[in-house]
Amino acid sequence: MQALPAGLLDRLAACRRLLVLTGAGVSAASGIPTFRDPGDGLWARFRPEDLATPAAFARDPQLVWRWYQWRRRLIAGASPNAAHRAIAALEQLLPRVAVVTQNVDGLHQRAGSSVVIEFHGSIWHDRCSAGCGRRCPADPALDEPPRCADCSAAMRPDVVWFGEGIPPDALNAALEAAAVCDALLVAGTAGVVEPAASLARIAAEHDALLIEANLETTPLSPLADCRLAGDVAQTLPALCAALNRIP
């Protein structure tokens, strides 16, 4: 990992509240395909945008359900990678660490992160498609969507689809965290999807230290005090090791 500019590592070590914003790049080393990876066989014929919408579920709930069950089985066979573990390890080095993730795979929690705000929901839960509020753990073995025990509507994956808003509780928690954090670490996300991308601007407006860890530059790069270019599975563990060496 390239060294942080003079003073920035000390500034990060001194921060009381660190917010970490993560995207698909953090889970890439775990072998999880990105959302827009069509897969193979049947799924190569479909665009994710044609499957991950309320209209698609209303039109053909079994097709959408089968696609998500395929994704669940893929994710079930994955494990947290070095990037997930490094983010979790930051909790041992800094007073308060929170993660806002655009991923739905649950790998941050499995790695040991204790405060995870799931911006796009969790693939490991289902919720009532009629909006009655019922939520339950997902069963990757089911061939078709189960019925809601309260209103008998079909259950659907508890994730945010195209055309849907971020869950209010998650959005409010993320906005509040961005406004009070001393440092924001952006890792494995291109920073183009709103409102997640706005978290960096909010943190910058409140004079937080901004560190970006990504393979390539992104629209958020001009806001960053420092860029850690490279695979986050390598740069984030190196950042943790550097912090751990500070007396």
| Closest listed residue to residue 226, CA positions, set 202, 210, 208 | 210
Q: Do residues 127 and 159 lie in contact, with contact meaning Cβ atoms separated by under 8 Å?
A: no
In this prediction, residue 246 carries a pLDDT of 79
Looking at residues 223-245, what average pLDDT do you find? 93
In this prediction, residue 224 carries a pLDDT of 92
Percent share of the chain, pLDDT over 90: 75
- Assign domain 41-77+126-159 to its CATH architecture: 2-Layer Sandwich (3.30)
Higher pLDDT, 183 or 223: 183
Helices first, then strands: H and E counts in the chain? 10, 9
For the cut 90, the answer to whether the pLDDT of residue 15 exceeds it is yes
Alpha carbons within 13 A on the beta-carbon side of 20: 31
Higher pLDDT, 190 or 43: 190
Looking at residues 106-113, what average pLDDT do you find? 98
For the cut 90, the answer to whether the pLDDT of residue 11 exceeds it is yes
In this prediction, residue 34 carries a pLDDT of 67
Omega before residue 48 within 30° of 0, cis:
no
Domain ranges across the chain: 8-31+80-120+166-244, 41-77+126-159
Higher pLDDT, 42 or 90: 90
Torsion over CA of 166, 167, 168 and 174, rounded to 10 degrees? -70
Looking at residues 114-118, what average pLDDT do you find? 98
Pairing of strands 155-159, 135-137: unpaired
Tell me which residues are annotated as active site.
120
Burial of 212 (0-12, 13-18, 19+ CB in 10 A): buried
Average pLDDT, whole number, for the chain? Answer: 91
In this prediction, residue 50 carries a pLDDT of 79
pLDDT digits (tens, 9 = 90+) for 142-170: 999 999 999 999 999 999 998 899 999 99
Looking at residues 77-87, what average pLDDT do you find? 97
Question: pLDDT-derived band of residue 184, with 50, 70 and 90 as boundaries?
Answer: very high
In this prediction, residue 225 carries a pLDDT of 93
Domain 8-31+80-120+166-244 CATH assignment equals 3.40.50.1220: yes
Stated pTM of the model: 0.92
CA-only gyration radius of the chain, Å: 19
pLDDT digits (tens, 9 = 90+) for 32-44: 876 655 555 455 6
